[in-house]
Amino acid sequence: MKSLLITLVFVLNVFIVFSQKLTVQSPNQKINVALYSGQNTDAGEWFLKASYVNNGKTSEAIPRIDLGLSRSDQDFSKQLKFLKAGKPVLINEQYTALHGKKSLCTNSANEVVISFENPSKAKLNIIVRAYNDGIAFRYEFPEKGGSFVMKDEMTSYSIPNETLRWMEKWNPANEGLYTAMSDDKIQKQEWCYPALFKVKDSACWFLLHESDVDRNYCGTKLSNTADGSKYKLTFPNPRDGRGQGESTPTVTLPWKSPWRAIIMGSLSDIVASTLVDDVATPSVVKNTSWIKPGAVSWNYWSSNHGTKDYKIVADFADLAAEMSWPYTLLDWEWDGMTNGGNVEDAAKYVLSKGVKPLIWYNSGGNHTWVSSTPKDRMLTHENRVAEFTKLKKMGFAGVKIDFFESEKQDMIKYYLDILEDAAQFEMLVYFHGCIVPRGWSRTYPNLMTYEAVRGAEWYNNGPEFTTTAPEHNTVLPFTRNVVGGMDYTPVTFTNSQFPHLTSYGHELALSVLFESGLQHFADRPEGYRELPDAVRTFLKEVPTVWDDIKLLQGTPGRDVILARRKGTSWYIGGITAEQRAERTKTVKFDFLPEGVKYKLTLIADGKFDTKFSTQYMVVDKNSSVDVRLLRRGGFAASLIPIQ
């Protein structure tokens, strides 16, 4: 019996040695990613396993991440031979972000390069990094020379059914709602990035995404259509973009894939993470002094054809000047402007008010069904040079480009070509009807924001958003807005084509909760001019670019309270999706520095949903305040240090 036990222990140890090749641990030792052999040998299929340590307890976050690629000339998945693993290298880099949730960012991780070869001796490396807030890995073909079609990528995440998840059904504009699922409620679909998961009976959350997509690949999405518990990376549908472009990318060696990013930790860690930008290529724009984030007045929400009317454009320029917002947008139909002036007249008027104009374009080309003009002026390098030259002469500061409708390789090239040409002319850019952020704002900091969200514009598209917006708004800070700027176009007090159910306090809170380098305040001028003085002052002063962020409270789909810092001042936004009853939330200020007193301006829900209640008080690190929230209510606050 003793001999048998010794044999079993020996066999078990051999199994462990052969199945787990290596482990990469984060600098804070909370996150581990291990490499395993699927056949318990040095050749075959390989997978990663991700785990999270909290208070000494280890949670298996993702039990299996399958690896591999299939190239047009050969396979790199089924018979990969392990060659070696390099020595762990500490990646330790600090950089400054011109806009986003944090100004000073740290790219710090332990990295290991794992080398394989397939039966024909062709090489594949897998680069694995463990961060304090997640995991990133990418593929590399180190050999030089040759171009090949990538037939498939085998990367897939096996996630237990009991893991709770919030996911958005795939749509080319990335403008859907999130669905919460687990167990027998899990749907089989294609899904957008990012996707949020909560490990059952654990403090571990994780968010799946990708970063640093470049011209040598396409964007991917997640699909569990074949197996409900496995989310496989999937190339674009051939039908996307009206069938234009190839759905399978062509890679040129040497080659590195985009990073497969898994933000991991507590829910606070998820919200504060800059991992998607950390792994992205550093800025290629050398002089960035001209890149200025800021608030924008926007006429489309309240008047869909507003830019056709010179007087409406002028009124929104006046609003921006009154509110100390640096920009106003001339949206679609500016090329048909009448009623007192044309686009040149409008630009002169805007500039005369000390405001800078921004202007809309259709992305153009056969990839979009939308015929709105001007359609083709961004489509080629020659078009863009001619158009940017005109815009600079007229004083325009940036362009909004709409309707991309595809994440194929040709469209990735188009996005990046636009950003490069715009930077040469010192033009700000923001994309609509577009891809979810992939870290490009670090590489091209003139990319100020993206839409890729079901935002306030959906109040114009039908009655559905009236009822879904309150809950949707509490999900976005934990999902879409984690990975980059989000042009939701918030803070609308009046009603557009379909009404709000959110309170005025809820709407005001969105100015803090939602981060965007260009923050488009979407209400009509009277919606802001008729506000109480304290609320109007808050909207004049609330930053659009931040130095730090802290999640104070929250659960996706229920409520969220976030604090953001700019300089020495803090701003807080809080909302609830509660439909039935008022709630009281206790907000603690223990995140403040020791020994500093702050003037708190608290603007919360009033007696009913279109009223505010404003309080002023002095607080410090030891203070707390109870805030009453109406159904679907909210509040905003500023904390200014007392000198």
CB atoms within 10 A of CB 497: 12
Tokens 């002095």, located at residue: 618
Q: Which residues does 242 contact at the CB level (< 8 Å), separation at least 6?
A: 366, 367, 368, 369, 405
* Strand 20-25, strand 583-588: pairing: unpaired
Which of 540, 539, 553, 579 shows the shortest CA–CA distance to 477?
553
Q: Are 34 and 23 in contact (CB under 8 A)?
A: yes
Q: Are 41 and 15 in contact (CB under 8 A)?
A: no
Q: Which two tokens stand for residue 436?
A: 């979810």
Q: Look at residue 19 in the predicted model and tell me its pLDDT.
A: 73
Q: Look at residue 279 in the predicted model and tell me its pLDDT.
A: 98
Extended beta strands in 103-183, E state: 104-117, 123-131, 134-141, 147-153, 156-158, 164-168, 178-181
CB atoms within 10 A of CB 455: 27
Residue 190: its H or E element: strand 190-191
CA 468, 469, 474, 476 dihedral sign is positive
Single-letter code of the amino acid located at 399: V
Alpha helices in 476-531 (DSSP H): 504-513, 525-529
Find the helix packing angle between 533-541 and 504-513, rounded to 10°: 20
Phi-psi bin for 41: left (phi > 0), alpha (psi -120 to 50), beta? beta
d(CA 422, CA 416): 10
d(CA 199, CA 159): 9
Alpha helices in 331-403 (DSSP H): 343-352, 381-394
Single-letter code of the amino acid located at 102: K
d(CA 154, CA 358): 42
Q: Determine the Cα angle at 365 with ends 361 and 370, to 5°.
A: 65
Q: Are 470 and 454 in contact (CB under 8 A)?
A: no
Q: How far is CA 45 from CA 66, 118, 220, 474, in A?
A: 8, 11, 22, 40
Q: Look at residue 14 in the predicted model and tell me its pLDDT.
A: 32
Phi-psi bin for 4: left (phi > 0), alpha (psi -120 to 50), beta? alpha
SS (H, E, C) 223-235: ECCCCCCEEEEEC
Phi-psi bin for 40: left (phi > 0), alpha (psi -120 to 50), beta? left
Q: Look at residue 524 in the predicted model and tell me its pLDDT.
A: 98
Q: Look at residue 12 in the predicted model and tell me its pLDDT.
A: 30
Q: Look at residue 9 in the predicted model and tell me its pLDDT.
A: 31
Q: Look at residue 11 in the predicted model and tell me its pLDDT.
A: 30
| Residue 418 dihedral angles phi and psi, to the nearest 5° | -60, -45
Q: Look at residue 18 in the predicted model and tell me its pLDDT.
A: 42
Q: Can you list the domains of the chain with their CATH numbers?
A: 23-278 (2.70.98.10), 294-533 (3.20.20.70), 564-641 (2.60.40.1180)
Q: How far is CA 370 from CA 330, 364, 403, 452, in A?
A: 18, 8, 7, 17
Alpha helices in 496-636 (DSSP H): 504-513, 525-529, 533-541
d(CA 334, CA 301): 15
Q: Look at residue 4 in the predicted model and tell me its pLDDT.
A: 32
Single-letter code of the amino acid located at 271: V
Q: Which residues does 212 contact at the CB level (< 8 Å), separation at least 6?
A: 138, 258, 259, 279, 280, 281, 438, 439, 443
Q: Look at residue 40 in the predicted model and tell me its pLDDT.
A: 87
d(CA 414, CA 12): 53
Q: Which two tokens stand for residue 281?
A: 């290529």
Where the chain has pLDDT below 70, the residues are 1-18
Which of 221, 211, 223 shows the shortest CA–CA distance to 172?
221
